[in-house]
Amino acid sequence: MSGTTDQARVPAAAQRVAGDLELLPAAEHPELLPEAVLRALPEGAWSLAIDPGVADTAALVEAAGVPLDGSANCVVVGGRRDGEERVAACVVLASTRADVNGAVKKALDVRKASFLPQERAVAESGMEFGGITPVGLPAGWRILVDSAVAASDWVLIGSGVRRSKLVVRGADLAALPGAEVADIALPAR
C-alpha cells in the first residue's frame, strides 16, 4: 500500500496532531500495535511508526513537530480506601498534568492517590512503559478521560509500545469501555 494513498485519506485535523509524521490506517498496520490494542481500536484510528528513543512526549514534540496541545498522556494512578485498592488510567492533554491529589483522588474516592510504580503499571496494563494507552487496557479498568481530551477533535496518544503512536478522536477515547469523562487536569508547571 502506498503512503500517498493513505495520506490522501487522512483528515487534516488528524495530520495536524501527528506533526511531520506519516499517518497510516491503524487497522491496516497490525505490525505497529500490540494485539490487545488492535482488538480495541476505535473505527477510523490512525497509527504512526516512531523511533522508540523519542516516545516520550517532549522528545517527540521536538523531533517531529508534534503539537503539545494535540498530544495526550496516559498515566496509571492508584489509591486505597477501606483496604480496597482502586486503580485508574488517567488521560490528559500533554499541555496539562493529571490532578492526582485533587480531582483524581476524589474520582477514585481514596484518601491518597499516587502513580502506580512503573513495574506494576507495565505488568498490569500489559503495555510498555512510555507507551501505555487507554485503548486495549484489560477489562475492568477504570479510565478517567479529562474533558479537554474528550472534546478534542483528534489526539496523538501512546499505542501500548514505544515504537508507535495512535491518533484517535477524543470522543472515541471517552467512549472506551470503563471510560468516564471528568475534569482531572491542571495546567502544566
pLDDT band at 189 (very low <50, low <70, confident <90, very high): confident
pLDDT at 152 over 80: yes
How far apart, in whole angstroms, are the C-alpha atoms of residue 28 and residue 31? 9
Q: Average the pLDDT over 67-92 and give the result.
A: 95
pLDDT band at 5 (very low <50, low <70, confident <90, very high): very low
> What's the whole-model pTM score?
0.93
Q: What percent of the chain has pLDDT over 70?
A: 96
Please report the pLDDT score of residue 6 as a whole number: 56
Other CB atoms within 10 Å distance of the CB of residue 97: 17
